[in-house]
Amino acid sequence: MGRVPLWMALPALLSLLVIAGYPTVVGIALAFTRSSLARPLRAFVGFDNFVAAAESVAFGGSLLRSAVFAVLGTALSVGAGVAAAVALDARGGRFGLLGTVLLLPMVTPPVSVGVAWKLLLAPVGGAFTGLRDALGIAGFNPLGSGFGAFTTLLLIHAWQWTPLVTLLVYAALLGVPAELREAAALDGAGWSRTLFSVVGPQVAPSVLAAAILELVIAFKVFDLVVVVTSGGPGVSTTVAGFEVFRTAFRGSFEVGTAAAETLLLGLVVGVVLAVAGLLTRRVRGAEQ
Amino acid sequence: MTSFGVRGLLSRGVLAVAAVLAVLPVLFLVSLSLRGVDDISNGGWLPSRLRWDNWPAAFQTVPLARMLTNSWVIAIGATLLTAVIAVPTAYLTARGGRSGARLYSVLLAAYCAPPVVAVLPLYFLLKNVGLTNSVLGLALVDGLANVPVAVWLLDGFVRRVPRELEEAAWVDGLSVAAGVRRVVLPLVYPGLVAAGLVCFFLAYNEFLFAVSFSQSPSSQTLTVGLSLFQGDRTVQFGQQAAASLVAIVPVYLLAVAAQRALIGGLSQGAVK
């Protein structure tokens, strides 16, 4: 008695089949065949699709761009999120209305986020035109250069996903036993000393878990790119997810190439997450 | 000044800046949506004269009402599907011993892959069963895709249900499944509400699947509609802002109304 009945696994297995198993098998099949959106899997073509993906100017750099975006986006949102969580904790009291306001970016539809920031930063009609004229930098447009556009996208992404870190780390801070802080205070440790030497190690696992989650989310960035930059200027903000979509559904409809590209993207994401997981385990191991 | 004062001032400063940053872009949308074309071109933060005509105009430029309905129907349908699957699954991951733990890691791994990886295969699947350009098709895909998130959040709640309660139910002759329904489910209810809200937001905000699987106006979602407002012309700024707010307002109302359930569920479920 008390054993979990096997049928309970069925809904989960069915979901996994549809969202993971089937897409993996068909994705691999598509990557090695010639296909169109109307007629998939027409003829086996060996590695042709991978060659096409490697030769594509837009896709070539997009894998690195995705990885850089994910790592920097994670660093930004974790840094800002931890700072906000520590500030909330230091303020004391309830999470309350202020907490809810801080969380709002997280529930905003990313497409709306993109529209809002794009309009905010617009060279004509934007919010900073007055400031820009006052400073005398007439031609300044953050989305005008490749570096500017990439940086802007990163900041917008961090704006949206910092709240998740704030929430997770704040919850972990609440879980730190009060006796620990009191003991540290009795031993003469000041606030910052207590924070770094006593509280920090206690919440480190939650910060790391939030960082991995942020890494996963940042690799998925798509909506923002479509709305804010469409991958430009040039290919400077063309991340891999966006390029795969464009290859498959916009313009060229190169289904086979797009499938090969998704396999390569999956590989890169897998490697980065594996390294992150390994680092996390090492940090956790060192603490114990 | 005492160290407490400095710390208090610093943390309040950080929080004030964060709160302003969090609402600024959306407040700017509100300002834009109430301004005429000339007023927008002049730049600045506040309208010189309030005008409402962007709102009805936005509803005419794209079929916003239809898209809003589609988004809600898809999000609600997807959330129900996710919940029905996630409850037994979370019970299994929390109480199923080693195979439960294995299922949990497979689900998390599935969540880690960027969804664009599944887009092409799912497109062909939906096309074969006649569910492209369909509200039902999008609800099914979104609902299944969010199962890992819901299980991740619910798992911690199920773990905190005392085993003794379930055992007492079994002694009284209930099956395991009946125990889940009558004993576990009422106790994990706060977690289910939080997971449901999160999955609703994810499905409502979803863009990649919506834009890939549904080109027809009859099944287009609000996020796709917003992305159609492209172009750098100032003329459309006001309408674009109004349409974006149409998408934002319902989720903000829901998030504020359910803030306790949402925050409690997210922070308790995720921190283990």
ipTM: 0.89
The one-letter code for the residue type at A234 is G
pLDDT for residue B2 = 47
CB pairs under 8 A between A and B: 286
User: In the structure encoding, which two tokens stand for residue A208, read together?
Assistant: 């790391």
Cβ-proximal residues to B18 (8 Å cutoff; 6+ apart), any chain: A80, A84, A87, A102
Q: Which of A138-152, A216-230, B65-79, B99-113 bottoms out in mean pLDDT, i.e. has the lowest?
A: A138-152
Q: Could A109 and B204 be called an inter-chain contact, meaning their C-beta atoms sit closer than 8 Å? A: yes
pLDDT at A212 over 80: yes
The one-letter code for the residue type at B158 is V
User: In the structure encoding, which two tokens stand for residue B178, read together?
Assistant: 């009946």
- Is B103 part of the contact surface with chain A (CB cutoff 8 Å)? yes
List beta partners, residue A33: A44
Q: Pick the residue of A49, A108, A199 with the most B CBs within 10 A to test the interface with B by mutation.
A: A108
Q: Could B15 and A119 be called an inter-chain contact, meaning their C-beta atoms sit closer than 8 Å? A: no
- Contact predicate B151/B105, CB 8 Å: no
Within 8 A of A190 by CB-CB distance, chain B residues are 3
Say how far apart CA A161 and CA A155 lie, in whole Å.
Answer: 10
- Is B157 part of the contact surface with chain A (CB cutoff 8 Å)? no
Say how far apart CA A233 and CA A217 lie, in whole Å.
Answer: 24
| Distances from the Cα of B250 to the Cα of A12, A107, A286, B40, B114, angstroms | 30, 10, 46, 26, 27
Q: Could B256 and A30 be called an inter-chain contact, meaning their C-beta atoms sit closer than 8 Å? A: no
Considering only the beta carbons, identify the residue of B103, B114, B247 that sits closest to A269.
B114
Say how far apart CA A102 and CA A160 lie, in whole Å.
Answer: 10
- Is B145 part of the contact surface with chain A (CB cutoff 8 Å)? yes
Q: Quickly list H helices, A121-254.
A: 129-135, 146-174, 178-186, 191-193, 200-219, 223-224, 240-249
List beta partners, residue A44: A33
B167 phi, psi to nearest 5 deg: -60, -40
Q: Could A104 and B32 be called an inter-chain contact, meaning their C-beta atoms sit closer than 8 Å? A: no
Within 8 A of A259 by CB-CB distance, chain B residues are 120
pLDDT at A264 over 90: yes
Considering only the beta carbons, identify the residue of B89, B114, B119 that sits closest to A11.
B89
Q: Could A105 and B40 be called an inter-chain contact, meaning their C-beta atoms sit closer than 8 Å? A: no
pLDDT at B45 over 90: no
In this prediction, residues A219-241 reach a mean pLDDT of 92
B163 vs B230, more confident: B163
- Is B105 part of the contact surface with chain A (CB cutoff 8 Å)? no
- Contact predicate B7/A90, CB 8 Å: yes
- Contact predicate B220/B209, CB 8 Å: no
Residue whose tokens read 């998130």: B149
Helix, strand, coil distribution of chain B in percent, nearest 5:
80, 0, 20
Say how far apart CA A221 and CA A157 lie, in whole Å.
Answer: 8
- Is A94 part of the contact surface with chain B (CB cutoff 8 Å)? no
The one-letter code for the residue type at A240 is A
pLDDT for residue A1 = 42
- Is A26 part of the contact surface with chain B (CB cutoff 8 Å)? yes
Radius of gyration of chain A (CA): 23
Q: Pick the residue of A1, A6, A8 with the most B CBs within 10 A to test the interface with B by mutation.
A: A8
State how far residue A279 is from chain B, nearest Cα, in angstroms.
17
Which residue in A37, A8, A94 sits closest to A252, CA to CA?
A37
Residue whose tokens read 């003469």: A188
State how far residue B63 is from chain A, nearest Cα, in angstroms.
17
Give how far the C-alpha of residue B201 lies from the chain's centroid of Cα atoms, to the nearest Å.
1
Per-residue pLDDT band for B232 (boundaries 50, 70, 90) equals very low
Query: Which B-chain residues 177-196 have CB contacts (< 8 A) with chain A?
Result: 177
The one-letter code for the residue type at B12 is R
- Is B72 part of the contact surface with chain A (CB cutoff 8 Å)? no
pLDDT for residue A2 = 53
pLDDT per residue as tens digits for the range B244-253: 999 999 999 9
State how far residue A26 is from chain B, nearest Cα, in angstroms.
6
Considering only the beta carbons, identify the residue of B10, B28, B118 that sits closest to A127.
B28
Say how far apart CA B15 and CA A166 lie, in whole Å.
Answer: 11
Per-residue pLDDT band for A287 (boundaries 50, 70, 90) equals low
Say how far apart CA B117 and CA A74 lie, in whole Å.
Answer: 21
| Distances from the Cα of A189 to the Cα of A181, A185, B97, B243, angstroms | 9, 5, 43, 53
- Is B1 part of the contact surface with chain A (CB cutoff 8 Å)? no
Within 8 A of A117 by CB-CB distance, chain B residues are 25
Instruction: Using DSSP, state whether A33 is helix, strand or coil.
Output: strand
Q: Could A266 and B22 be called an inter-chain contact, meaning their C-beta atoms sit closer than 8 Å? A: no
pLDDT per residue as tens digits for the range A129-186: 777 777 777 667 888 889 999 999 999 999 999 999 998 899 888 888 888 888 888 8
Within 8 A of A19 by CB-CB distance, chain B residues are 110, 118, 141, 144-145, 147
| Distances from the Cα of A40 to the Cα of A22, A28, A255, B212, angstroms | 15, 12, 8, 16
Helix, strand, coil distribution of chain A in percent, nearest 5:
75, 0, 25
In this prediction, residues B59-81 reach a mean pLDDT of 93
Q: Which residue of A has its CA nearest to B107?
A: A16
Considering only the beta carbons, identify the residue of B92, B177, B227 that sits closest to A111.
B227
Within 8 A of B212 by CB-CB distance, chain A residues are 245, 248-249
State how far residue B205 is from chain A, nearest Cα, in angstroms.
5
Length of chain B as a residue count: 272
Within 8 A of A2 by CB-CB distance, chain B residues are 166-167, 170, 176
pLDDT per residue as tens digits for the range B251-271: 999 998 888 888 777 776 555
State how far residue B145 is from chain A, nearest Cα, in angstroms.
6
pLDDT per residue as tens digits for the range B160-185: 888 888 889 898 888 888 888 888 99
